[in-house]
Amino acid sequence: MWRMADAKESNQATDPAVGSATHAGTARRSSPGWVRRSGRDRRERTRLEIVGDGVVVLQHRRLPDWKARIRLIAVSPAGVSVVHTENYKGLAHTRRPGPISDLGPEELHVGRRNCADTVANVCRQVDAVRAALRNTPWGSEVPVHAMLCLPRAEWGFASAIEIGEVRVGWPRLVASRMQTPVAMDSRTVEKVSRLLADSLPIA
Protein backbone atom coordinates (compact mmCIF):
# COMPACT_ATOMS: atom_id res chain seq x y z
CA MET A 1 0.00 0.00 0.00
CA TRP A 2 2.78 2.44 0.80
CA ARG A 3 4.38 1.98 -2.62
CA MET A 4 1.13 2.72 -4.44
CA ALA A 5 0.35 5.72 -2.28
CA ASP A 6 3.83 7.18 -2.67
CA ALA A 7 3.76 6.77 -6.42
CA LYS A 8 0.36 8.46 -6.62
CA GLU A 9 1.50 11.32 -4.42
CA SER A 10 4.67 11.71 -6.44
CA ASN A 11 2.79 11.80 -9.74
CA GLN A 12 0.15 14.29 -8.66
CA ALA A 13 2.42 16.59 -6.72
CA THR A 14 5.44 16.67 -8.97
CA ASP A 15 4.58 15.53 -12.47
CA PRO A 16 3.25 18.55 -14.39
CA ALA A 17 1.79 16.17 -16.97
CA VAL A 18 -0.87 15.09 -14.45
CA GLY A 19 -3.64 17.60 -13.91
CA SER A 20 -6.79 19.11 -15.23
CA ALA A 21 -6.98 19.93 -18.92
CA THR A 22 -8.68 23.20 -18.02
CA HIS A 23 -5.36 24.58 -16.77
CA ALA A 24 -3.40 23.70 -19.92
CA GLY A 25 -4.31 26.86 -21.81
CA THR A 26 -3.43 29.12 -18.88
CA ALA A 27 -0.06 27.45 -18.38
CA ARG A 28 0.72 27.67 -22.08
CA ARG A 29 0.02 31.39 -22.21
CA SER A 30 1.71 32.34 -18.97
CA SER A 31 4.77 30.12 -18.95
CA PRO A 32 5.88 28.42 -22.19
CA GLY A 33 9.04 27.13 -20.51
CA TRP A 34 6.97 25.29 -17.92
CA VAL A 35 4.91 23.66 -20.67
CA ARG A 36 8.03 22.50 -22.50
CA ARG A 37 9.43 21.07 -19.28
CA SER A 38 6.19 19.26 -18.44
CA GLY A 39 6.16 17.67 -21.89
CA ARG A 40 9.75 16.55 -21.50
CA ASP A 41 9.05 15.02 -18.09
CA ARG A 42 6.03 13.18 -19.47
CA ARG A 43 8.04 11.74 -22.36
CA GLU A 44 10.84 10.82 -19.94
CA ARG A 45 8.45 8.80 -17.77
CA THR A 46 6.89 7.05 -20.79
CA ARG A 47 10.13 6.18 -22.56
CA LEU A 48 11.84 4.71 -19.53
CA GLU A 49 8.97 2.29 -18.93
CA ILE A 50 10.19 1.51 -15.44
CA VAL A 51 6.97 1.74 -13.47
CA GLY A 52 6.26 -1.92 -12.89
CA ASP A 53 6.01 -4.52 -10.19
CA GLY A 54 8.62 -4.04 -7.50
CA VAL A 55 9.71 -0.54 -8.64
CA VAL A 56 9.07 2.62 -6.63
CA VAL A 57 9.57 5.91 -8.45
CA LEU A 58 10.38 9.21 -6.74
CA GLN A 59 10.34 12.28 -8.98
CA HIS A 60 11.73 15.81 -8.67
CA ARG A 61 13.56 15.47 -5.38
CA ARG A 62 15.26 18.44 -3.76
CA LEU A 63 18.96 18.15 -2.93
CA PRO A 64 20.29 19.51 0.38
CA ASP A 65 22.31 22.72 0.01
CA TRP A 66 22.04 22.64 -3.78
CA LYS A 67 19.61 24.37 -6.13
CA ALA A 68 19.48 21.45 -8.54
CA ARG A 69 17.10 18.55 -8.17
CA ILE A 70 17.03 14.86 -8.95
CA ARG A 71 14.48 14.32 -11.68
CA LEU A 72 13.94 10.64 -11.08
CA ILE A 73 14.96 8.00 -8.55
CA ALA A 74 13.88 4.41 -9.11
CA VAL A 75 14.13 1.96 -6.23
CA SER A 76 13.94 -1.62 -7.43
CA PRO A 77 15.26 -5.06 -6.47
CA ALA A 78 18.48 -4.13 -8.31
CA GLY A 79 19.07 -1.17 -6.00
CA VAL A 80 18.63 2.59 -6.31
CA SER A 81 18.93 4.12 -9.77
CA VAL A 82 19.47 7.85 -10.10
CA VAL A 83 18.29 8.68 -13.61
CA HIS A 84 19.04 11.94 -15.39
CA THR A 85 17.58 12.48 -18.86
CA GLU A 86 18.76 14.93 -21.50
CA ASN A 87 17.38 15.36 -25.02
CA TYR A 88 20.76 15.91 -26.63
CA LYS A 89 20.90 15.21 -30.36
CA GLY A 90 23.84 13.72 -32.23
CA LEU A 91 26.13 10.72 -32.09
CA ALA A 92 26.99 9.60 -28.56
CA HIS A 93 30.69 8.86 -28.28
CA THR A 94 33.72 9.33 -26.05
CA ARG A 95 36.85 11.40 -26.53
CA ARG A 96 40.15 11.89 -24.76
CA PRO A 97 40.97 15.57 -25.21
CA GLY A 98 44.64 15.55 -24.23
CA PRO A 99 47.73 15.26 -26.44
CA ILE A 100 48.98 11.84 -27.53
CA SER A 101 51.51 11.82 -24.72
CA ASP A 102 48.77 12.31 -22.12
CA LEU A 103 45.27 11.70 -23.45
CA GLY A 104 43.59 12.16 -20.10
CA PRO A 105 40.28 10.65 -18.95
CA GLU A 106 37.47 9.89 -21.34
CA GLU A 107 34.79 12.51 -21.88
CA LEU A 108 31.25 11.96 -23.11
CA HIS A 109 30.27 13.87 -26.23
CA VAL A 110 26.95 13.93 -28.06
CA GLY A 111 27.45 15.42 -31.48
CA ARG A 112 29.60 18.48 -30.85
CA ARG A 113 28.43 18.87 -27.27
CA ASN A 114 30.86 18.13 -24.45
CA CYS A 115 28.76 16.49 -21.74
CA ALA A 116 31.37 16.56 -18.96
CA ASP A 117 29.25 18.92 -16.86
CA THR A 118 26.20 16.71 -17.28
CA VAL A 119 28.11 13.63 -16.16
CA ALA A 120 29.47 15.53 -13.14
CA ASN A 121 25.92 16.61 -12.28
CA VAL A 122 24.75 12.97 -12.25
CA CYS A 123 27.65 12.07 -9.94
CA ARG A 124 26.67 14.83 -7.50
CA GLN A 125 23.11 13.51 -7.45
CA VAL A 126 24.36 10.00 -6.69
CA ASP A 127 26.55 11.35 -3.87
CA ALA A 128 23.46 12.96 -2.31
CA VAL A 129 21.53 9.69 -2.44
CA ARG A 130 24.43 7.77 -0.91
CA ALA A 131 24.70 10.36 1.85
CA ALA A 132 21.01 9.86 2.66
CA LEU A 133 21.60 6.10 2.98
CA ARG A 134 24.93 6.29 4.79
CA ASN A 135 23.65 6.38 8.37
CA THR A 136 21.31 3.44 8.03
CA PRO A 137 22.29 -0.07 9.19
CA TRP A 138 21.99 -1.40 5.65
CA GLY A 139 22.88 1.70 3.67
CA SER A 140 26.34 0.60 2.58
CA GLU A 141 24.89 -2.58 1.13
CA VAL A 142 22.37 -0.83 -1.12
CA PRO A 143 23.69 -0.47 -4.68
CA VAL A 144 23.29 3.05 -6.06
CA HIS A 145 23.53 3.34 -9.84
CA ALA A 146 24.21 6.51 -11.83
CA MET A 147 22.37 6.57 -15.14
CA LEU A 148 22.25 9.12 -17.93
CA CYS A 149 19.46 8.50 -20.42
CA LEU A 150 19.76 10.05 -23.90
CA PRO A 151 16.51 9.27 -25.75
CA ARG A 152 17.32 11.43 -28.81
CA ALA A 153 20.98 10.58 -29.26
CA GLU A 154 22.34 8.45 -32.09
CA TRP A 155 24.31 5.34 -31.23
CA GLY A 156 25.53 3.95 -34.53
CA PHE A 157 27.30 0.66 -33.90
CA ALA A 158 28.28 1.66 -30.37
CA SER A 159 27.03 -0.17 -27.33
CA ALA A 160 26.25 1.55 -24.06
CA ILE A 161 28.87 3.92 -22.70
CA GLU A 162 30.29 4.08 -19.19
CA ILE A 163 32.04 7.22 -18.01
CA GLY A 164 33.44 6.45 -14.59
CA GLU A 165 30.46 5.10 -12.68
CA VAL A 166 27.86 6.75 -14.92
CA ARG A 167 26.10 4.39 -17.30
CA VAL A 168 24.95 6.14 -20.46
CA GLY A 169 22.38 4.63 -22.79
CA TRP A 170 19.00 4.72 -24.47
CA PRO A 171 15.69 4.33 -22.58
CA ARG A 172 15.16 0.58 -22.98
CA LEU A 173 18.70 -0.18 -21.93
CA VAL A 174 18.49 2.09 -18.91
CA ALA A 175 15.19 0.48 -17.87
CA SER A 176 16.59 -3.04 -18.24
CA ARG A 177 19.52 -2.24 -15.97
CA MET A 178 17.12 -1.40 -13.17
CA GLN A 179 15.95 -5.02 -13.00
CA THR A 180 19.12 -7.06 -12.57
CA PRO A 181 21.06 -8.24 -10.71
CA VAL A 182 18.67 -8.60 -7.78
CA ALA A 183 20.15 -7.10 -4.60
CA MET A 184 17.12 -6.31 -2.39
CA ASP A 185 13.88 -8.01 -1.44
CA SER A 186 10.54 -6.22 -1.55
CA ARG A 187 10.64 -5.24 2.11
CA THR A 188 14.04 -3.57 1.73
CA VAL A 189 12.84 -1.79 -1.41
CA GLU A 190 10.01 -0.31 0.63
CA LYS A 191 12.29 0.74 3.50
CA VAL A 192 14.80 2.36 1.16
CA SER A 193 12.04 4.18 -0.71
CA ARG A 194 10.57 5.58 2.48
CA LEU A 195 13.92 6.78 3.72
CA LEU A 196 14.77 8.53 0.46
CA ALA A 197 11.31 10.10 0.25
CA ASP A 198 11.83 11.58 3.73
CA SER A 199 15.47 12.59 3.21
CA LEU A 200 14.99 14.11 -0.25
CA PRO A 201 11.66 15.99 -0.20
CA ILE A 202 9.72 17.01 -3.27
CA ALA A 203 11.24 20.03 -4.99
Output the pTM of the full model.
0.73
pLDDT tens-digit map of 42-69: 555 545 555 666 789 999 998 877 777 8
Coil, strand or helix at 54: coil
Give the chain's domain count.
1
Cα–Cα distances (Å) from 100 to 54, 87, 103, 130, 194, in that order, read: 48, 32, 6, 36, 49
Query: What pLDDT does 112 receive?
Result: 93
Under 8 Å between Cβ of 79 and 70: no
Domain with 150 in it: 2-199
pLDDT tens-digit map of 84-136: 999 999 999 998 876 676 666 889 999 999 999 999 999 999 999 999 998 88
Query: What pLDDT does 192 receive?
Result: 93
Name which residue leads in pLDDT, 16 or 114: 114
Query: What pLDDT does 22 receive?
Result: 30
The rounded mean pLDDT for the chain is 77
